[in-house]
Copies of this chain bind each other. A is one copy, B any other.
């Protein structure tokens, strides 16, 4: 984790996207880009000479009545780049031909496009390029499977190339014009389906491509931003995806009163949000916007399929020229905006490098922690303040009850931060306390001895033992302070530990800090994490990687269940309260039954997506005072952390993976079940997801329909909304990786 004080500098790179699609890469071009203060440029791998050649081959093949086309490899006249120092500079991004129509329903066009793409990928890899941009499918209603197939085959050509698919952020910009769709007569007779184009259409395409490619990390997104932006929830969705480049088209800009291009507030927010994730921007069409092309070959050439020749040129032509004298104004604006971004929030710095990185949960009960781990915990600016407040309230309550000789014990004292806070709380309240620090980790214990000698002035009685075996010399403990919570509250066995030490607590006035804690959960889309797990699954199957929860700083995720305000729906799974009624402890004869829990909750999902797993959080009442006027809490829930413990950084979320992603349609529901199991020796969780859609049934028992709209028209017309199952997951279980008691 990055040092919490040090803030990573906001580096960024602005590129010139396709400054001259038909120009061979040369020092001149790179020089000019550098002079223009661009950090990189994107370059077409082949030129219009090659397109002309391919077009001729297709036409000849068609005239000869052949059903298959053979595209020869690249010749020297066809290419814009060579394996030389320019490519090796690392400032060049390759772009495959944008006139290809990999998703054409015309078999000749599709086949030729695929062959060209694979020639270009092969040559780009040979030249040493590391990154390729490939244009997405032209529409959502042609041969998307054919497109996917071309990409998946392309990924196999060179194992070192990263391929990024260029897609518009705004789905409806993909809507084809009638003439853009191959008519059945020109293809194999297949009529293109009538497709719903909505805000998520572009994401649908991306989801299909990456799913078909098994979530390989070598496949990324290059998101194209124009003036029309998608809705907020769709932007959130995109930020759950691996956007490696943001292409900002000149059409995304407005002119300010002085005639300079500026971005609207929503565009600015998007650019800012992207900056926190990835620093690569490409500016496109600034040249065309700014002045007439120097050379006719500078304009984009039209797509391969004869029916949609006008398509490629459309974007270019529709651009409104601004500031004809300064195409640099776009770069200057973006540069200025990025330079003046506010510093990132603390968690960004604290968690730098830990975004979506999967860690196994701690087992502090079974293992001994290292000093660095304690160090990280102690860095939290919020958590220990909250503990100090809670202890102060508890001391005050006991004092008001007339309890004298108050005894405080910190169980699992670690390196002593809670001891320090207890002493401070007592000192500030002018209450004398006896204080014990219990620690089983012998290494931490040595450090506690140092603390007691150097900081606490020998005021603390140190005991080296497992808290469950500790017997205090004479009196009961009045306040038992612990910090045993994991990311899912009870997952590091706080309940079992506190049960084990409860015998030392005063039976009537004894206080646990924390008093209670709750686990919370919600289903999420987490494609990056799923891809990470998939890539691990192929290398080793010794442990079933899907049957264990992970501690993770969830970043590239989307909350699928949201309320109308866009806030995630998060449900409480269960609660643990301390002290436990003594009957519970005696009841079951050592099988720890009273610490079993189960939970089920239904999560409405307004917009389609894919459930990859369950995010888990916790809330905790450290102490609520006796008259209920003050409460000190902790929360990691994204929707309550600011109210309860703003800026607390000690805990990442927990993530329960699903082996198989579960797609959900618009207006659906996920029902998630959780179980906390124990057999008296270890503790583990089971989890399961059921998905549902809804139909309307007429009350006469007849026909059914989806409820998306009919209720508003017919709510009193005798319809009732009924749930229909879509799918269920396995019952996933961490039993094999359970937490030892």
Query: Contacts of A666 on B, CB cut-off 8 Å?
Result: 695, 724
A residues 662-688 near B (Cβ < 8 Å) are 663, 665-666, 671, 673, 675, 686, 688
Does A703 belong to the interface (CB within 8 Å)?
yes
Q: Are A594 and B212 within 8 A (Cβ)?
A: no
Q: Are A665 and B724 within 8 A (Cβ)?
A: yes
Q: A731 with B608: in contact, given A68-B593, A195-B723, A709-B704 (CB under 8 Å)? A: no
Q: Are A149 and B708 within 8 A (Cβ)?
A: no
With beta carbons under 8 angstroms apart, the residue of B149, B208, B728 that contacts A148 is B728
Q: Are A660 and B660 within 8 A (Cβ)?
A: yes
Number of interface residues of A (CB under 8 A): 73
Q: Are B608 and A724 within 8 A (Cβ)?
A: yes
Q: How far is the CA of A697 from the CA of B141 in the complex (A)?
A: 16
Q: A673 with B145: in contact, given A583-B66, A600-B190, A722-B196 (CB under 8 Å)? A: yes
Query: Contacts of A326 on B, CB cut-off 8 Å?
Result: none
Query: Contacts of A725 on B, CB cut-off 8 Å?
Result: 204, 207-208
A interface SS class: mixed
Q: A697 with B196: in contact, given A145-B600, A600-B146 (CB under 8 Å)? A: yes
A residues 646-669 near B (Cβ < 8 Å) are 660, 663, 665-666
With beta carbons under 8 angstroms apart, the residue of B204, B688, B726 that contacts A145 is B688
Q: Are B70 and A211 within 8 A (Cβ)?
A: no
Does A59 belong to the interface (CB within 8 Å)?
no
Q: How far is the CA of A710 from the CA of B207 in the complex (A)?
A: 30
Q: How far is the CA of A550 from the CA of B187 in the complex (A)?
A: 31
Q: How far is the CA of A207 from the CA of B593 in the complex (A)?
A: 31
Does A213 belong to the interface (CB within 8 Å)?
yes
Does A740 belong to the interface (CB within 8 Å)?
no
| A729, chain B: closest CB distance, angstroms | 7
A 591-630 binary contact with B (CB < 8 Å = 1; else 0) = 0011010101110000010100000000000000000000
Does A721 belong to the interface (CB within 8 Å)?
yes
Query: Contacts of A729 on B, CB cut-off 8 Å?
Result: 211-212
Does A541 belong to the interface (CB within 8 Å)?
yes
Q: How far is the CA of A676 from the CA of B212 in the complex (A)?
A: 17
Q: Are B675 and A211 within 8 A (Cβ)?
A: no
Does A741 belong to the interface (CB within 8 Å)?
no
Q: A671 with B706: in contact, given A204-B725, A722-B194 (CB under 8 Å)? A: no
Query: Contacts of A697 on B, CB cut-off 8 Å?
Result: 196
Does A270 belong to the interface (CB within 8 Å)?
no
| A295, chain B: closest CB distance, angstroms | 36
Q: How far is the CA of A596 from the CA of B596 in the complex (A)?
A: 59
Q: How far is the CA of A344 from the CA of B698 in the complex (A)?
A: 45
A residues 86-132 near B (Cβ < 8 Å) are 107
Query: Contacts of A600 on B, CB cut-off 8 Å?
Result: 143, 145-146, 190
Q: Are B671 and A695 within 8 A (Cβ)?
A: no
Determine which residue in A148, A541, A703 has the highest number of CB atoms from chain B within 10 A of its CB, and name it: A148
With beta carbons under 8 angstroms apart, the residue of B145, B190, B610, B723 that contacts A193 is B723
Query: Contacts of A551 on B, CB cut-off 8 Å?
Result: none
| A740, chain B: closest CB distance, angstroms | 19
The chain B residue with its CB closest to the CB of A730 is B214
Q: Are A208 and B724 within 8 A (Cβ)?
A: no
Does A276 belong to the interface (CB within 8 Å)?
no
Determine which residue in A141, A146, A693, A727 has the highest number of CB atoms from chain B within 10 A of its CB, and name it: A727
Q: How far is the CA of A207 from the CA of B706 in the complex (A)?
A: 23
Q: State the number of copies, please.
A: 2
Q: Are A145 and B594 within 8 A (Cβ)?
A: no
A 250-272 binary contact with B (CB < 8 Å = 1; else 0) = 00000000000000000000000
Q: Are B705 and A710 within 8 A (Cβ)?
A: yes
The chain B residue with its CB closest to the CB of A574 is B188
Q: How far is the CA of A477 from the CA of B175 in the complex (A)?
A: 56
Q: Are B728 and A70 within 8 A (Cβ)?
A: no
| A523, chain B: closest CB distance, angstroms | 14
Q: Are A211 and B728 within 8 A (Cβ)?
A: yes
Does A348 belong to the interface (CB within 8 Å)?
no
Q: How far is the CA of A149 from the CA of B686 in the complex (A)?
A: 8
Does A144 belong to the interface (CB within 8 Å)?
yes
Q: Are B148 and A663 within 8 A (Cβ)?
A: no
The chain B residue with its CB closest to the CB of A712 is B703
Q: How far is the CA of A610 from the CA of B660 in the complex (A)?
A: 14
The chain B residue with its CB closest to the CB of A209 is B728
Q: How far is the CA of A598 from the CA of B692 in the complex (A)?
A: 35
Q: A671 with B731: in contact, given A196-B723, A541-B541 (CB under 8 Å)? A: no
Query: Contacts of A146 on B, CB cut-off 8 Å?
Result: 598, 600, 673
With beta carbons under 8 angstroms apart, the residue of B587, B608, B675, B705 that contacts A705 is B705
Q: Are B152 and A724 within 8 A (Cβ)?
A: no
With beta carbons under 8 angstroms apart, the residue of B141, B196, B212, B720 that contacts A194 is B720
Q: Are B726 and A152 within 8 A (Cβ)?
A: no
Q: How far is the CA of A428 from the CA of B707 in the complex (A)?
A: 70
Query: Contacts of A588 on B, CB cut-off 8 Å?
Result: 70
Q: How far is the CA of A675 from the CA of B703 in the complex (A)?
A: 40
Does A690 belong to the interface (CB within 8 Å)?
yes
| A682, chain B: closest CB distance, angstroms | 15
Q: A690 with B144: in contact, given A211-B727, A705-B705 (CB under 8 Å)? A: yes
Q: How far is the CA of A727 from the CA of B726 in the complex (A)?
A: 12
Query: Contacts of A707 on B, CB cut-off 8 Å?
Result: 705
Q: A731 with B660: in contact, given A593-B68, A710-B705 (CB under 8 Å)? A: no
Q: Are B690 and A145 within 8 A (Cβ)?
A: yes
With beta carbons under 8 angstroms apart, the residue of B208, B594, B722 that contacts A68 is B594
With beta carbons under 8 angstroms apart, the residue of B208, B213, B593, B665 that contacts A70 is B593
Q: How far is the CA of A395 from the CA of B730 in the complex (A)?
A: 61
| A113, chain B: closest CB distance, angstroms | 13
Q: How far is the CA of A729 from the CA of B211 in the complex (A)?
A: 7
The chain B residue with its CB closest to the CB of A110 is B598
Query: Contacts of A193 on B, CB cut-off 8 Å?
Result: 602, 692, 723
With beta carbons under 8 angstroms apart, the residue of B145, B602, B724 that contacts A671 is B145
A residues 144-195 near B (Cβ < 8 Å) are 144-146, 148-149, 152, 190, 193-195
Determine which residue in A144, A600, A731 has the highest number of CB atoms from chain B within 10 A of its CB, and name it: A731
Top 9 A-B residue pairs of the complex, sorted by shortest distance between their CB atoms: A706-B706, A145-B673, A196-B722, A703-B709, A663-B727, A208-B728, A193-B723, A212-B731, A152-B731
6 additional A-B pairs beyond A148-B731, A196-B695, A710-B710, beta carbons within 8 Å, are A68-B594, A141-B723, A196-B724, A212-B731, A608-B724, A660-B660
27 contacts between A and B (CB under 8 A): A66-B583, A68-B594, A68-B596, A143-B673, A146-B600, A146-B673, A148-B731, A149-B686, A190-B600, A193-B723, A194-B721, A195-B722, A195-B723, A196-B704, A211-B727, A211-B729, A212-B688, A212-B731, A213-B731, A608-B724, A663-B727, A665-B724, A703-B712, A704-B709, A705-B706, A706-B706, A706-B708
